[in-house]
Amino acid sequence: MEEFKLSRPIKHLAIIMDGNGRWAKKRNLPRTLGHKKACETLIEVIRETCKLDIYCLSIYAFSTENWNRPKDEIDHLFKYLDIFFKTNIKEMMDLGIKIRIMGDYTKLPKHTVKTIEKSLEDTKNNTKHVLNIALNYGSRPEIIRATKLIMEDYKNNKISLDDINEETYKNYLYTKDLPEIDLLIRTSGEQRLSNFMLYQLSYSEFIFTPTYFPDFHKEELIDCLKIFEKRDRRFGTIKE
Give yes or no for residue 240 having a pLDDT over 70: no
Q: Is the pLDDT of residue 235 over 70?
A: no
Q: What is the pLDDT of residue 3?
A: 85
Q: What is the mean pLDDT of residues 42-54?
A: 97
Cα(62)–Cα(102) distance, integer angstroms: 10
Q: Which residues pair with 102 in a beta bridge?
A: 134
pTM: 0.94
Give the pLDDT score at 239: 61
In the set 53, 66, 157, 182, the catalytic residue is 66
**Residue range 115-137: average pLDDT?**
97
163 is catalytic: no
Whether 18 is a known active-site residue: answer yes
Domains of the chain: 12-138+180-228 (3.40.1180.10)
Q: For 230, which DSSP code?
A: T
Mean pLDDT of the chain: 95
Q: What is the pLDDT of residues 164-198, one digit of tens each?
A: 999 999 999 999 999 999 999 999 999 999 999 99
pLDDT recorded at residue 143: 98
pLDDT at 1 over 60: no
* Per-residue confidence band for 149, with pLDDT thresholds at 50, 70 and 90: very high
- Listed in order, strand segments (DSSP E) in 64-219 are 97-102, 129-137, 183-186, 205-208
How does DSSP classify residue 214? G
Q: Are 181 and 200 in contact (CB under 8 A)?
A: yes
Contact 59, 132 (CB under 8 A): yes
**Catalytic residue among 18, 88, 136, 182, which?**
18
- Cβ atoms of 47 and 95 closer than 8 Å: yes
What does the buried/exposed string (b/e) look like for 128-152 if buried means 16 or more CB atoms within 10 Å of the residue's CB?
ebbbbbbbbbbbeebeebbeeebee
Pairwise CA distance, residues 112 & 126, whole Å: 22
